[in-house]
Amino acid sequence: MKDPAVGVQFDVETTRHSGMFGNYGGAYVPEVLAGKLTTLAATFREAIADPAFRRELKYYLRDFVGRPSPLYLAERLSAEIGARIYLKREDLNHTGAHKINNTVGQALLAKRLGAKTLIAETGAGQHGVATATVAALFGMKCIVFMGSEDVRRQAPNVERMKLLGAELVTTDAGTATLKDAVDAALGYYIQHPDVFYCLGSAVGPHPYPSIVREFQSVIGAEARTQILEAEGRLPDILLACVGGGSNAIGLFSAFLGDPAVEMFGAEGGGTDVAGRRTAATLTCGKPTVFQGTYSYCLVDEQGQPVDAYSVSAGLDYPGIGPEHAYLKDTGRVQYAPVMDDQAIAAFRLLSRSEGIIPAIESAHAVALASQVLRGTGKLAIINLSGRGDKDIGRF
């Protein structure tokens, strides 16, 4: 299979259903899944153009998830860093993270397709919890795939999934983390094409990056309205953590057409970026085909995908969504690694300065904000993608 060349031309509004972001994206899948994904893409296009689907989605986001999530002025954090910082409080959503926005939308697509079983992969456990939650809501069976190392690291979320009625399937393959959970879920999907794969991030084969982007775009749409109401202008800077990239693209999506708004993505730097004990895909990776799409990936000298590492189970992934690959190459978004110790320090800083315990994933964005914003006085929004109950006691 010949890798496509890296492209540079991209218009979000005209290409969001094409499966390509520049020359990134596509669907590199076995024939058994090709038809399934084609049907999913058509169903997705029809659904989001259907006012009845939009009304139903809005109802569940409002009355079940609890949207809109607040945009909170973090005054003590702002004073500590020397900037004016707002937090987009996705941690206050039902289930405690942004993941529920996407699973509600995908579950409604699954209903539209007549599916009875949802399957999902999870690393930090938040997507697994969110998928189990909507499966319970809509009376569906749920199977969640998770690496055994992440099962150990994220025990509270494992118990939540089981309480919600999900069947947990663990894998010891590779590093037994998120990449391996995705492999296991894709393998099951190939063998059981009648199930609905509720993919958790803006990664994988078309149409998943566009589906996840669409259902997470509510974050950015709300944040744009809220910051204009609060400050009378757009922010100078946006920051979000980036693993596969769903919470980040959800926030960034509403501001991509505003060149004055700078955007920063915090990757999981791990403990040694140069030595590749890292999950900094956009910093260290190269474009290749990985898990059904063409994007950046951490690879070895032969161009084969390698294992990632981060203290954060949600960022511990060697790939990245294809839209982020395009945004990196065009320079629209700047991506930087945040080391484990920096993220842990930010985890403690936000907890003690604001009384808000963030997910360790979100703490990466707080740490990058401390570097980018210090002493600038600039107006910024940090996407607080999830809460840190699952991480308490780990550091």
- C-beta separation of 89 from 219 below 8 A: no
Decide: helix, strand or coil at residue 3: coil
d(CA 240, CA 381): 9
246 with 102: CB under 8 angstroms? yes
42: left (phi over 0), alpha (psi -120 to 50) or beta: alpha
| Choice among 179, 310, 385, 390 that is catalytic | 385
DSSP state of 243: S
Within 10 angstroms of residue 30's Cβ, the number of other Cβ atoms is 10
Q: How far apart are CA 36 and CA 13, in angstroms?
A: 24
The rounded distance, in Å, linking the Cα atoms of 19 and 12 is 11
Catalytic, out of 36, 99, 179, 390: 99
CA distances from 229 to 158, 161, 232 (A): 39, 38, 6
Let me know if 323 is a catalytic residue: no
| Catalytic annotation present for 295 | no
Annotated active-site residue 99? The verdict is yes
What is the rounded distance in angstroms from the CA atom of residue 210 to the CA atom of residue 216?
A: 10
Point out the catalytic residue in the list 90, 121, 149, 323. 121
Catalytically annotated residues: 99, 121, 385
